């Protein structure tokens, strides 16, 4: 991916873990709104340890912009770390949902 020009046909997947003050601040609803804006498919959910987990698929450029916004988060959040494990897109998602 580095050095390559993203194309609309270059789809990627990612498993993402977000740490910090990201629960009880509307972070998952934020991910849903941002996913819609960047045509990102997948899901987000709270983990028992206080992190938010996401699994996504999108065009490479959209996925990278999505991750940039995750690093900022909503106003009340305090994002400390966003870990991204890039994967091959498997085409498993049809929308973006919040899992409970």
Question: CB–CB of 34/66 below 8 Å?
Answer: yes
CA 16 to chain centre: 6
Q: Is 9 a catalytic residue?
A: no
Distance CA 76, CA 19 (A): 14
Active-site choice (46, 51, 78, 95): 46
Active-site choice (21, 28, 37, 51): 28
Q: Is 28 a catalytic residue?
A: yes
| Number of other CB atoms surrounding residue 38 within 10 Å | 20
Catalogue the active-site residues.
Answer: 28, 46
């Amino acid at each position: 991916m580095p050095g390559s020009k993203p194309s609309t046909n270059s789809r990627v997947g990612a498993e993402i873990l977000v740490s910090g003050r990201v629960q009880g601040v509307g972070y998952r609803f934020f991910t849903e709104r941002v996913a819609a804006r960047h045509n990102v498919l997948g899901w987000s959910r709270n983990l028992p340890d206080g992190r938010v987990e996401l699994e996504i698929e999108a065009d490479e450029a959209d996925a990278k912009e999505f991750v940039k916004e995750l690093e900022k988060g909503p106003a009340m959040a305090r994002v400390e770390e966003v870990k991204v494990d890039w994967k091959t897109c498997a085409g498993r998602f049809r929308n973006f949902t919040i899992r409970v």
